[in-house]
Chains A and B, each alone.
Chain A
Amino acid sequence: MHFDYALLLQAAPDLTARLNAVEAAAKSAQSAGDNAWMLVSAALVLLMTGPGLALFYGGLVRSKNVLSTMMHSFIMMALVTVIWALVGYSLVFAEGSPFIGGFKYLFLNGVGKEPNADYAGTIPQGTFMIYQMMFAVITPALISGAYAERIKFSAMALFTTLWVFIVYFPMAHMVWGKGGLLNAYLGGSIPTLDFAGGTVVHITSGVSALVCALYLGKRVGFPKEPHKPHSLVLSTIGACLLWVGWFGFNAGSALAANGLATSAFVATHLAAAAAALSWMAAEWLHSGKPSMLGGISGCVAGLVAITPASGFVKPMPALLIGALAGMFCFWMVAKVKNMFGYDDSLDAFGVHGAGGTLGAILTGVFATNAINDAQINGKVIPLGLVDGNPGQILNQAIGVAIAIVLAAAGTYLILKVCDALLGVRVDRDEEIQGLDVTQHGEEGYNLEA
C-alpha cells in the first residue's frame, strides 16, 4: 500500500510534532513501568540482607551470639553502601580494564536521572546504581556464616572493607561491567553467562567462607559439644524472606518489567520449591526425618543454584536445577563437611559455594536463546548445550575457576593482613562468654527485664 505523505501532511500539518509526542509518551510510559519494578526489586534485594539473612543466620547460632551474627548482616547495609557510593559503583561499572572498572563515576558523579544505555536504557542510572548496590551489600554478609561465633568485630569490619575491593569489585566488573573479561554481552573475551550473580555473589562468597572457616579454625568445643541452632523459628522466617527477596534479585536482573523478568521469576520459584523437596527427601532417607531446617536450607540452595541460570532457562530445567541443588548441597553439608572436619559454622560454603558452582555449570547446559534473545552485534546467539553450544560449559567452568581463585587468594591475603593488624579471632574466654556481650556489650534476650 502506498501512502501519499505530502497529502497526509497537508491534512495534518503538525503530524511530525504529534508523532514525536506519541513516541516520547510511549518511552516515558515504559520507563515509568521499568523504573517502578526496579526500585521495588532494589528494596527486595535489601530485604534479603536485613531482615532475611540476619534472621536466617541469627537463628542458627547459639543465643549468646545472636546479636553479633545479625550485626554481621546489618553492618553491611551501612558499610558497603557507603563504600559503593564513594568508589564501588565506579570500579565495577565505569569502563576500565578487563579486570576492574575506572573512575568515571567516582562519588556517583553523573549518576542520576539519565539512563546508561550500556546497562539499562529505560531506567535512570541512579536506579541501576542502587539496585546493584544491594548485591554488593548481601555478598559479604553471606560469608559471615563461616566466621560466626568467633570473629572479632573490628577484624570483621576491616575484612569486609578490603574484601569488596579485592574480590567483589573486580569479579563484578569482569562479569557485568562494560569491557569486563567475562562479560558475554559487552565485549568480554571469555563470554560467561551469569544472569543474577552465581559467580559474582555466590561462588565468591562461598569460597571465601571456606577459606575463613579454615583460617579461623573450629569454634571452641566443636563438634564435641552441641552447637545447636538457638531458634529455627527465626531461621525459618529469615529463609522465607530470602525466598521472597530473591524475586528482586533474579527477576530484577532483567533490569526491566518485561517477559524476561517473568521468566526469571518463574524459574526462581520453581527451583526453590524443587530444592526444598529434594533436600528434605534426601535427609528423610538419610537420617529418618524430614526437618524444618532441611526444608529452608534446601530452598536457599535452590535459589543459589538458579541465580546464574534464572534469565536463561525454561521452567522444566529450572525444576531440575533446583532438585539437583537440594541433594548436592545436602550431601556437601551433611557428609563432605564432616569428612574434612572444617567448621563452616552456618554452611556458607556448603550452600553458596557448592550450589553456586553447580548452578553456574548447569547454566552452560540449559541456557537457551528461546528464553533470552539478547543480541550481540545485532545477532541472536546460541547460548548453552541445549542450543547446540557445548563450548559454553567450558566458558562457564573458566568463569567459575576465576571466581574460585580470586576469592580464595584474595580472602587468604586479607585475613593475613587483618590478623597482623587486629587479630581476627576473639580470645577463648570471650568466645565462651559469647560475642554479644564481649563485642557489643549487650544481649539478645533479656527475658527478665
Chain B
Amino acid sequence: MKKIEAIIQPFKLEDVKEALKNIGIDGMTISEVRGHGRQKGHKEVYRGQEYNVDLLPKVKFEMIVNDDRLDEVLDTITTAARSGKIGDGKIFVFDVAEAIRIRNGDRGESAV
C-alpha cells in the first residue's frame, strides 16, 4: 500500500477529481493549503505599501492506493494537474504500514 500526497493548483482540483473517478478511484481526502516551491509569489500594493505574497493557495490530495495501481494513479494525476507552468505542484509517495476500516475492523489492502 502506498500513500500519495499530491499538491496541485487549486483550479486543477475538478480535473484531477474527474480523472481519478474515471479510473475507478473513489477515496480521497482534500485540504486547502498554502505554500510555494520554486514559484515566486506576487506583489500586492495597498496605498503605496507593498506586500510580497509568496505563500500561495494550493490544494493537497491525500489517498492510499494498492501497489498494483500506483503507476496508473500517478500518471493520471500528473496528466490532469499539468498546466505546464511553474507552480503546478508536486507528488510524493510513501509506504503505508497498515490500514483499518473503522466500521468493521477490516485490515490491509481490503480496507483501502
- In the complex, which residues 195-233 of chain A have their Cβ closer than 8 Å to any Cβ of chain B? 223, 226-229
Q: How far is the CB of B104 from chain A (nearest CB, A)?
A: 31
Q: How far is the CB of A422 from chain B (nearest CB, A)?
A: 31
With beta carbons under 8 angstroms apart, the residue of A226, A228, A286 that contacts B48 is A286
- In the complex, which residues 253-305 of chain A have their Cβ closer than 8 Å to any Cβ of chain B? 283, 286-287, 289, 291, 293-294, 297
Question: What's the dominant secondary structure at chain A's contact region?
Answer: helix
> Which residue of chain A lies nearest to B48 when distances are taken between CB atoms in the complex?
A334
- Which chain A residues border B51 with CB–CB below 8 Å? 226, 228
Chain A window 380-407, contacts with chain B (Cβ cutoff 8 Å), 1 for yes, 0 for no = 0000000000000000000000000000
- Report the contact-size class of chain A (Cβ under 8 Å from the partner): 20 to 34
Task: Check: A111 CB closer than 8 A to any chain B CB.
Answer: no
Q: How far is the CB of A244 from chain B (nearest CB, A)?
A: 23
- Report the contact-size class of chain B (Cβ under 8 Å from the partner): under 10
A227 CA to B45 CA, complexed, in Å: 11
Task: Check: A338 CB closer than 8 A to any chain B CB.
Answer: yes
> Which residue of chain B lies nearest to A337 when distances are taken between CB atoms in the complex?
B48
- In the complex, which residues 310-345 of chain A have their Cβ closer than 8 Å to any Cβ of chain B? 330, 333-335, 337-338
> Which residue of chain A lies nearest to B52 when distances are taken between CB atoms in the complex?
A226
Question: What's the dominant secondary structure at chain B's contact region?
Answer: strand
> Which residue of chain B lies nearest to A282 when distances are taken between CB atoms in the complex?
B48
A289 touches B45 (CB 8 A): yes
> Which residue of chain B lies nearest to A350 when distances are taken between CB atoms in the complex?
B47
- Which chain A residues border B45 with CB–CB below 8 Å? 283, 287, 289, 291
> Which residue of chain A lies nearest to B47 when distances are taken between CB atoms in the complex?
A333
- Which chain A residues border B50 with CB–CB below 8 Å? 287
Task: Check: A431 CB closer than 8 A to any chain B CB.
Answer: no
Task: Check: A347 CB closer than 8 A to any chain B CB.
Answer: yes
- Which chain B residues border A289 with CB–CB below 8 Å? 45
A337 CA to B50 CA, complexed, in Å: 13
> Which residue of chain A lies nearest to B53 when distances are taken between CB atoms in the complex?
A226
> Which residue of chain A lies nearest to B44 when distances are taken between CB atoms in the complex?
A228
- In the complex, which residues 30-88 of chain B have their Cβ closer than 8 Å to any Cβ of chain A? 44-51
- Which chain A residues border B48 with CB–CB below 8 Å? 283, 286-287, 330, 333-335, 337-338
A228 touches B46 (CB 8 A): yes
> Which residue of chain B lies nearest to A288 when distances are taken between CB atoms in the complex?
B45
Q: How far is the CB of B25 from chain A (nearest CB, A)?
A: 30
Q: How far is the CB of A212 from chain B (nearest CB, A)?
A: 18
Given contacts A227-B49, A287-B48, A337-B48, 15 further A-B contacts (CB under 8 A): A223-B49, A228-B44, A283-B45, A283-B48, A287-B45, A289-B45, A293-B46, A294-B47, A330-B48, A333-B47, A333-B48, A335-B48, A338-B48, A338-B49, A347-B47
Q: Which residues of B contact A (CB under 8 A)?
A: 44-51
Q: Which residues of A contact B (CB under 8 A)?
A: 223, 226-229, 283, 286-287, 289, 291, 293-294, 297, 330, 333-335, 337-338, 347
**Sample of 24 A–B contacts (CB below 8 Å):** A223-B49, A226-B51, A227-B49, A228-B44, A228-B46, A228-B51, A283-B45, A283-B48, A286-B48, A287-B45, A289-B45, A291-B46, A293-B46, A293-B47, A294-B47, A297-B47, A330-B47, A330-B48, A333-B48, A334-B48, A334-B49, A337-B48, A338-B48, A338-B49
